[in-house]
Amino acid sequence: MMTTLLPTQKRGRCGSALALTMIMTSIALATVAGVLSYSANNARLNYRSNQYYRAVAAAEGDTEKVITMISRDFLSGGEGLVNANLTAYRQTTLLASDSSYWADWEFNDASGNTGQTYVQPGVSSNFILQNSSYAGLNAYASFYTIVSDARQTSAAQDVVGGVLQQLELTRIPIFQFAMYTTGDMEISCGQPFAITGLVHSNGQLYVEPDNVMIFESSVTAVGDILFQRSPLDSRGPPAGSVAYDGVHDPNQPALSLPIGITNTPTAVREIIEPPPPFEDPNSPLGRERYYNLSDVVLVVSSSGISGTSGDFNSFATVIPADQLNGFVSTTNSFFDAREGKTIRPIDINIAGLTAWSATNSSERTALGGLDVSSIYVLDKRTLTGTDLGAVRVFNGLQLPPRGLTVATASPLYVFGNYNQTNAANLGTSNTTTTLPASLVADAVTILSANWTDANSQAAVASRNATPTTVNAAILAGAVDTAGGNYGGGMENFPRFLETWGLANPFTYNGSMVKMFPSQYATNIWGNANVYAPPARNWTFDVNFNNPAKLPPLTPSLETVIRGQWATVAPNQTTPPVN
């Protein structure tokens, strides 16, 4: 019988295989556990990162809500309104009433106070703007810091995001512009025209030369800068050329007056009107009215002339009638060919005003020993429909030592050379001997040194001008282009009633600010027998780049400039160090 021997297996080998299998299984399990742990940890980190960015976005949204409130108040009521509302800003956060999304979000002011936002005004300073569309302008600015910490209370992880933003609440004196308009601006020229100084339109800017036009400095507009006529102008396309030596930037931020209401040209006109009864002089609009700000208020009615100090001492100082008679009269009249009316001027002898300011004991005492630097003239006379009340300044070579602003809601006429004591500088751009001055009115008309009232109704060819110089900012109204009639543009912003011609230039050094539609001097530009234009020797007065040399009561335009934006650690209210 055959015996079959079966192979035998060694125990050592079986044990080794089992151990190896167990080791490999353990390694695999450990790897899976590691992968799962890594995946879970990575998911947590991703969640935390995503939640952090959500929290940062929420904190930014919270600061933006507050910034919107600050900006709105500043542009409508100035920094006084902003400071009055600081508590309200600090108690403002995003709420479920804004959006249901914010129902489970909590905001705090980076100091542990929930339901609040950090708002801190900083120091005010005078400085030259650098990082804005209006770089190079002198401005007054206050710096505000807004901080919010945000967390989502329903989130799986407690993550806080913090955002810090800074604002510059900026005030720009308006007479730093060679030309400024609250609405659309039109500029044309029949002669070569070089515009020195900055130009800004708070609306559209229509550049429409019929000769060579050069902008020697920056040009900005809230709307577009267009080489064309206004759509309301029926004339053909411009036939000239334009050159820009500086930037010309459309679509820029608006520059507005803080009058508490929308800055329409019609609304802005209120700054030259007397206040209505019971208006608070400390209201946003009240603080901008020339009537409330002036050193002297002169009131002319059908029964006579009266004068007092201004609102600064509740109009308490009465100027004696015999003193007023030394520099104010209402006996003259002349014809305005553009308006087709007889002008009944309130004539103000500036040399007489200057002499009175230096010697009187009433108003000078009220002003703490200082000279008068501003006068508001209110015409309350009852006139016929063929007459037009107005203010006229004359004999104006010498102003009071602090300069002079003459303001009225009526039309204003400037008779002869104004604000230049050095005869050698007449007819030049040299303003080293001038004083700060502005002319504020419904409209401003220039009468040359050769003007005579008796000749005012003669044909325009008989009304011959002589070279005349005016050194003053002009803030006034105009008759805008409408119904196919060109309004005259900025080149006719100062009005004329004489035959000038190239041999009789009008030299002007100042700043032209077209603020509102004229309400009294409302006849259209371009009628026959009104004037023949002068050579326009016009220059921006560089004195106005010095805040100390700005005209008395210069209004300031307001704009908000964004400063630093940064993420910050929780409970941090200072900008991070770079």
Residue 547 lies in a domain: no
How do residues 112-169 score in pLDDT, each as one tens digit? 999 999 999 988 888 777 667 787 888 888 999 999 999 999 998 899 999 999 999 9
- Cβ partners under 8 Å of residue 311, min gap 6: 281, 291, 292, 293
Same domain, 491 and 564: no
Asked whether the CA dihedral 233, 236, 237, 243 is positive or negative, the reply is negative
Residue 506 lies in a domain: yes
At residue 355, φ and ψ (nearest 5 deg) are -65, -40
* 511, 451 Cβ separation under 8 angstroms: no
* 56, 163 Cβ separation under 8 angstroms: yes
Residue 73 lies in a domain: yes
Same domain, 407 and 514: yes
State the residue for tokens 């080489």.
227
Q: Quick one: three-class SS letters along 61-124?
A: HHHHHHHHHHHHHHHHHHHHHHHHCHHHHHCCCCCCCCCHHHHHEEEECCCCCECCCEEEEEEE
> Which pLDDT belongs to residue 11?
52
Of 156, 440, 426, nearest to 294 (Cα)? 440
How do residues 94-109 score in pLDDT, each as one tens digit? 999 999 999 999 999 9
> Which pLDDT belongs to residue 131?
65
Residue 575 lies in a domain: no
CA distance 322 to 340: 34
* 218, 136 Cβ separation under 8 angstroms: yes
* 439, 473 Cβ separation under 8 angstroms: yes
Same domain, 127 and 269: no
Angle (CA) 563 567 569, round 5°: 130
Helix (H) or strand (E) holding 44: helix 11-84
What six digits make up the tokens of 340?
């087709």
Q: What is the DSSP letter of 52?
A: H
How many residues belong to the chain?
A: 578
Residue 208 identity (one-letter amino acid): E
CA-CA-CA-CA torsion for 363, 552, 77, 185, nearest 10 degrees? 140
Same domain, 302 and 398: yes
Same domain, 283 and 424: yes
> Which pLDDT belongs to residue 31?
67
Work out whether strand 512-517 and strand 473-478 pair parallel, antiparallel, or are unpaired.
Answer: parallel
Looking at the structure of the chain, the number of domains it has is 2
What six digits make up the tokens of 64?
């933006």
What six digits make up the tokens of 206?
């229509």
Same domain, 354 and 447: yes
Ranges of residues in the chain with a pLDDT under 70 are 1-15, 28-45, 130-131, 578
CA distance 206 to 203: 10
* 447, 470 Cβ separation under 8 angstroms: no
Same domain, 475 and 564: no
Residue 136's region, left for phi above 0, alpha for psi from -120 to 50, else beta, is left
Same domain, 55 and 142: yes
Stated pTM of the model? 0.88
End-to-end Cα, the chain, rounded Å: 100
Residue 322 lies in a domain: yes
At residue 269, φ and ψ (nearest 5 deg) are -55, -25
Same domain, 97 and 169: yes
| Integer CA distances (angstroms), 561 to 49, 70, 129, 142, 316, in order | 31, 12, 10, 10, 41
Of 221, 176, 172, nearest to 198 (Cα)? 176
> Which pLDDT belongs to residue 443?
98
Asked whether the CA dihedral 488, 493, 497, 503 is positive or negative, the reply is negative
> Which pLDDT belongs to residue 16?
72
Angle (CA) 374 511 557, round 5°: 75
Residue 290 identity (one-letter amino acid): Y
Residue 7 identity (one-letter amino acid): P
Residue 235 lies in a domain: no
Residue 564 lies in a domain: yes
Same domain, 564 and 484: no
> Which pLDDT belongs to residue 133?
74
Residue 86 sits in which domain range?
A: 18-173+559-568
Give 344's strand partners: 389
| Residue 74: exposure state from Cβ atoms within 10 A (0-12, 13-18, ≥19) | buried
Same domain, 338 and 471: yes
Of 362, 374, 447, nearest to 408 (Cα)? 374
Residue 349's region, left for phi above 0, alpha for psi from -120 to 50, else beta, is beta
> Which pLDDT belongs to residue 42?
65
Residue 206 in 3-state DSSP? strand
CA distance 328 to 249: 46
Asked whether the CA dihedral 38, 39, 44, 48 is positive or negative, the reply is positive
> Which pLDDT belongs to residue 210?
96
Residue 9 lies in a domain: no
Same domain, 506 and 564: no
> Which pLDDT belongs to residue 394?
98
